[in-house]
Every structure is written in structure tokens, then in C-alpha cells.
Amino acid sequence: MASIKLVPFEEELKKNPELKESDIEILRQWCRKQPHLPKMTDSELALFLHSNYYRLEPTKSTIDTFFTVRTHVPEFFHNRDPINNQELKKTINVAIFFTKSFRVFYMHTTNDTLEKFIPLEVLPNEAGGQAGLIQELRDKQVKKLIDHITWFKEEEANHRVNELLRPDKAKTATDLFGVEGSFKKLDID
């Protein structure tokens, strides 16, 4: 499995009465006026539109933010290769440690009370669930990541903004997340 497939746009259009070709055309035209954005398929535009309840302006904002964050937060969106990235390997192993330790953090006295909130089928066997052993679940997830390495590399290469082409002022991580740095002195009146 080398890539992640979206539902074809024509199929989505047939099954979803809220999705309108005219809205997708408006988004296509808007995207053509946003040279900093990557090229998107109609299926991707439909997915963004759906996630914003078919409202055009919030969809435009979401598209821009989605790709801008991917560009300006390399800690999460670059080098997601579980074979060659040592930091990612460590993160996966830390997640296993916490998964094995999470039994300490429950607030339910029995699985009967927990099952009202979380189906036992999704919990690891070590936590009283039925999803399988933690190590087996980890191995399955790592295999999925490895199976999608080509997709990750393509996504990292092609689904980013080019701030040099942004019509307005280029954005930075500070624009997205607020003030960077530290406060050395704080005076309160």
C-alpha cells in the first residue's frame, strides 16, 4: 500500500447532496489566486469543504492553515520515516511505555464501568481489552507507517506552502501560534 486513496470526487458528488460542484469551482478559482498553496484535487477540496460544514470562507481558512502548519511545524510533519528516523523510533517506544503504564491512570473500578465509555475491543489485552497485545498493536502501527513511507515523502515534498509566493505577508510560526520567546520580567500594576 503505497498511497492513501481518497474517494473519487464524482462518487462523493453522487452520494452527498450537500456537496455542490459550484462550491468546488469557487474553491478551485480561489486556489488559483493563492500561488503559495500546493495543487489540490477536487476530492481534497471536497474533504476540506465537508470538514467545514460546506461553508466556503471557513474552508478557505482551513486550507491555508492546514498547509501553513505543515510547513512551519517540521517537528511533526517532516522526516516521518519510522525506519531511518531515530527520534520517531524513540517516540514510538515511549508511547508503548505509557500504554503499558496507563493502567495506573484509570478511574473506573471495573471494566463494566469503563465499557460504558470505551469498547473493550479497542483496548490492549494488558488493559483488560480484546484488541491484542501491546507489542503486536505497536508492530501493526509501525508496519502501517512503513507501508506509507512513499505517501509521507510525497506529502512532505508537495503539500506545503511556498511563503515566497504568498500574496499577503509571509506567515511564520509566530503568526500561527503567538509570541515566541520568554518573559524575563513581568510588572503587574
Nearest to 24 by CA among 50, 2, 6: 50
- Mean of the per-residue pLDDT values for the chain? 85
pLDDT of 6 strictly over 90:
no
Residue 101 pLDDT level (bands cut at 50, 70, 90)? low
pLDDT tens profile 47-95: 999 999 999 999 999 999 999 999 999 888 988 888 888 888 888 777 7
Output the pLDDT for position 53: 97
Asked whether the predicted pLDDT for residue 106 surpasses 60, the reply is no
Those residues whose C-beta lies under 8 Å from the C-beta of residue 166, and which sit 6 or more positions away, are 34, 35, 36
Give the model's pLDDT for residue 156.
Answer: 93
* Cβ-based burial of 102 (10 A; exposed 0-12, middle 13-18, buried ≥19): middle
Confidence of residue 1 (pLDDT cuts 50, 70, 90): very low
How far is residue 4 from each of residues 37, 147, 151, 152, 163, measured CA to CA in Å? 20, 10, 7, 10, 27
pLDDT band, residue 2 (cuts 50/70/90): very low
Q: Say yes or no to pLDDT of 126 above 50.
A: yes
Q: What pLDDT is attached to residue 98?
A: 66
Q: What is the pLDDT of residues 146-177, one digit of tens each?
A: 999 999 999 999 999 999 999 988 888 788 87
Residues 18-26, mean pLDDT to the nearest whole number = 97
More confident residue, 188 or 140: 140
- Contact 91/81 with Cβ under 8 angstroms? no
Contact 19, 51 (CB under 8 A): no
Residue 67, C-alpha cell as written in the block? 498547509
Q: Rounded to an integer, what distance in angstroms lies between the CA atom of residue 54 and that of residue 57? A: 9
Task: Enter the pTM of the model.
Answer: 0.75
Q: How far apart are CA 150 and CA 4, in angstroms?
A: 10
